[in-house]
């Protein structure tokens, strides 16, 4: 089952469900978060709660995408209670990269390679045991969530604005503080790779950028092997294209281990909050020497996650003026 949120032509919100091609409205639903809270209160799973509402009218999701009416597949009425976070060094890189890592003496390894090896050795613990903790970062709150089709804006002080094709887990914290996974979505964890490359301690700065995810959310388990395609389109032509792999068969960590190390913090288990957690990637146009520019379009296709995610790149004209803080 694939779910999405959109604005109808009359300006009202709606939820759409797609099983075998045709998307239909979920009668009376305006928010996937609200549907999930109803399911929790009734002791049902999300699919069963939606089935109780029956089938609504057909809806043209492709047309809604073209019109800019598709929203991110989960949000929160107060954006401050929606958290965008992620993990890095979680996916297997190229064989050459792995070989180089193993051939390097431990004393000469970078911290990145040490962490990558920790994931290889202990990122998939057996059930009931806690494995190695991954790299972790914060991207912002709901104000940083960009709908499918909308621009990913690079701030004026940024040195780069590059795509990161990933899968994100979408979560709601239940009233009793339990994290529950709503589903998975295709995502572009947009980052500043030049800043990150300048000094790894600037990673936190490089991740404070907007991100997009959707258009649809997959309800149910994620396949062990997921394959998609990431493209950079310039002036209507594909400038760069490369497949990307995800799913646990292509990862150094299990999803359960990544989820544990995010939700082990009480701060991340506040009732009612929404979490969007990006699971990482091994495919970047930046790694192939591509430098993006305003007007480029990022397109990520992955049939297992529904319709493709596409966003143009823009650059904010916010200048380099120093921010002055006034004393009150």
How does pLDDT run across 279-327, given as a tens digit for each residue?
Answer: 999 899 998 999 999 999 999 999 999 999 999 999 998 767 888 999 9
Mean pLDDT of 189-204: 92
Q: What is the pLDDT of residue 116?
A: 83
Q: What is the pLDDT of residue 173?
A: 98
Q: Is the pLDDT of residue 102 over 90?
A: no
Find out whether 222 and 9 touch, Cβ atoms under 8 Å: no
Neighbouring C-beta atoms of residue 310, cutoff 10 Å: 19
Per DSSP, helices labelled H in 43-88 are 46-52, 61-67
Band of residue 100 on the pLDDT scale cut at 50, 70, 90: very low
Give Dmax (Cα) for the chain: 63
Instruction: Return d(Cα 240, Cα 232) in angstroms, integer.
Output: 5
Q: Is the pLDDT of residue 259 over 60?
A: yes
Q: What is the pLDDT of residue 95?
A: 32
Residues of the chain with CATH 3.90.850.10: 74-315
Instruction: Return d(Cα 140, Cα 48) in angstroms, integer.
Output: 32
Instruction: Return d(Cα 12, Cα 163) in angstroms, integer.
Output: 31
Instruction: Return d(Cα 14, Cα 29) in angstroms, integer.
Output: 6
Mean pLDDT of 94-114: 53
Q: What is the pLDDT of residue 107?
A: 53
Per DSSP, helices labelled H in the chain are 32-42, 46-52, 61-67, 95-103, 111-122, 193-198, 203-207, 255-263
Average pLDDT, the chain: 92
In degrees, rounded to 5, the angle at the alpha carbon of residue 242 between the alpha carbons of residues 183 and 188 is 35
How does pLDDT run across 116-174, given as a tens digit for each residue?
Answer: 888 888 888 998 899 989 999 999 999 999 999 999 999 999 999 999 999 999 999 99
| Cα distances (angstroms) measured from residue 119 to each of 115, 165, 281, 302 | 6, 20, 14, 25
DSSP letter at 327 equals: P
Find out whether 232 and 298 touch, Cβ atoms under 8 Å: yes
Phi, psi dihedral angles at 24 (to 5 degrees): -130, 150
Q: What is the pLDDT of residue 167?
A: 97
pTM: 0.93
CATH no., domain 74-315:
3.90.850.10
How does pLDDT run across 36-70, given as a tens digit for each residue?
Answer: 999 999 999 999 999 999 999 999 999 999 999 99
Q: What is the pLDDT of residue 249?
A: 93
Q: Is the pLDDT of residue 108 over 90?
A: no
Phi, psi dihedral angles at 320 (to 5 degrees): -120, 20
């Amino acid at each position: 089952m694939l779910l999405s949120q959109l604005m109808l032509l009359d300006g009202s919100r709606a939820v759409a469900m797609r099983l075998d091609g045709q998307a239909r409205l979920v009668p009376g639903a305006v928010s996937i978060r609200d549907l999930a809270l109803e399911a929790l209160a009734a002791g049902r799973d999300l699919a069963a709660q939606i089935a109780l509402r029956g089938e609504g009218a057909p809806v043209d999701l492709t047309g809604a995408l073209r019109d800019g009416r598709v929203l991110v597949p989960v949000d929160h009425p107060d954006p401050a209670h929606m958290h965008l976070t992620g993990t890095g060094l979680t996916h297997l890189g190229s064989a050459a990269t792995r070989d180089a890592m193993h051939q390097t003496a431990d004393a000469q390894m970078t911290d990145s390679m040490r962490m990558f090896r920790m994931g290889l050795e202990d990122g998939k613990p057996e059930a009931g045991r806690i494995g190695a903790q991954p790299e972790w970062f914060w991207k912002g709150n709901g104000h940083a969530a960009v709908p499918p089709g909308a621009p990913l804006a690079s701030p004026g002080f940024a040195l780069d604005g590059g795509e990161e094709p990933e899968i994100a887990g979408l979560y709601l914290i239940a009233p009793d503080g339990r994290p529950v996974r709503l589903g998975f979505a295709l995502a572009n964890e947009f980052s500043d790779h030049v800043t990150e490359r300048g000094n790894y301690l600037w990673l936190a700065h490089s991740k404070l950028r907007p991100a997009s995810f959707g258009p649809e959310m997959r309800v149910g388990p994620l396949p062990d092997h997921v394959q998609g395609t990431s493209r950079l389109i310039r002036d209507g032509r594909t400038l760069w294209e490369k497949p990307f792999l995800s799913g646990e068969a292509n990862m150094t960590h299990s999803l359960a281990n990544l989820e544990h190390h995010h939700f082990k913090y009480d701060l991340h288990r506040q009732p009612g909050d929404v979490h969007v957690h990006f699971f990482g990637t091994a495919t970047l146009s930046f790694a192939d020497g591509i430098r993006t520019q305003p007007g480029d379009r990022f397109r990520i296709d992955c049939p297992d996650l529904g319709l493709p995610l596409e966003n143009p790149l823009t650059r904010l004209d916010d200048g380099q003026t120093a921010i002055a803080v006034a004393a009150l």
